[in-house]
Amino acid sequence: MKKTRKTLHNLVKVNQGSVGDEVTAKLPPAKRARKNAQEDDAKTVKKTRRKTGKLSVLLEMPLDVLFEIFGLLLPLDLLRLSWTSSEFRCTLMQRSARSLWIQALKHVERLPECLEDLTEPQWAFLAFYPCCHHCGAQNCQTIIWSCRMRCCNKCLKTQLVTI
Ligand SMILES: [Zn+2]
């Protein structure tokens, strides 16, 4: 554990006596220490604010309300939402959330039924996530259905072999 000057300063106050006086003499002036402690506190507050965004309130909502909201999303939005945090991932990848995925897939007109060997999130990933599954290249439109993957032209040449 990293001891800050503030905690050290408090420690000295508690242990006042002959040994404590020696420690106090070695410490920098109290005003300077307090200023640094305030800066540390400010940095901690900033980090905390960054981690908890305005949408963090969503996690505290009742699950049935969340499912009502999520039911309005398109498959790619639902997929991206599941990647935002571990809580969303756990919630959206549960078996009980399957109806959400089916509902999201129904929002897309003329979309074929989900393939038997894929789950609905896998189907959404294959059908809508526009990146190459090998190199991650953006805007990849080639889907190799038999391999259940998207592949850019560069990876098509390097990763696949014609039989
Ligand atoms: Zn690629």
Whether residue 147 sits in one domain with residue 90? no
Whether residue 80 sits in one domain with residue 44? no
Spell out which residues have Cβ within 5 A of ligand 1, the ion: 132, 134-135, 137, 152, 155
Closest-CA residue to 150 (of 159, 138, 142, 158): 142
When divided into structural domains, the chain yields a total of 3
How close is the Cα of 153 to the center of ligand 1, in Å?
7
Amino acid at 20: G
Whether residue 119 sits in one domain with residue 141? no
Range of the domain at 137: 130-163
Whole-angstrom distance, CA of residue 22 vs CA of residue 19: 5
Whether residue 64 sits in one domain with residue 26? no
Whether residue 11 sits in one domain with residue 47? yes
pTM value is 0.63
Whether residue 110 sits in one domain with residue 86? yes
How close is the Cα of 6 to the center of ligand 1, in Å?
53
Q: What are phi and psi of 66, to 5 degrees?
A: -60, -45
Whether residue 74 sits in one domain with residue 121? yes
Whether residue 71 sits in one domain with residue 110? yes
Q: What is the DSSP letter of 58?
A: G
Whether residue 63 sits in one domain with residue 25? no
Whether residue 92 sits in one domain with residue 31? no
Whole-angstrom distance, CA of residue 21 vs CA of residue 43: 31
Whole-angstrom distance, CA of residue 140 vs CA of residue 29: 62
How close is the Cα of 144 to the center of ligand 1, in Å?
12
Whether residue 116 sits in one domain with residue 90? yes
Q: What is the pLDDT along the chain (163 residues), one digit of tens a residue?
A: 443 333 222 333 333 333 333 333 344 445 555 555 555 555 555 555 556 677 777 778 888 898 999 999 999 999 999 998 898 999 899 999 999 999 999 999 999 999 999 999 999 999 999 999 999 999 999 999 999 999 999 999 998 888 7
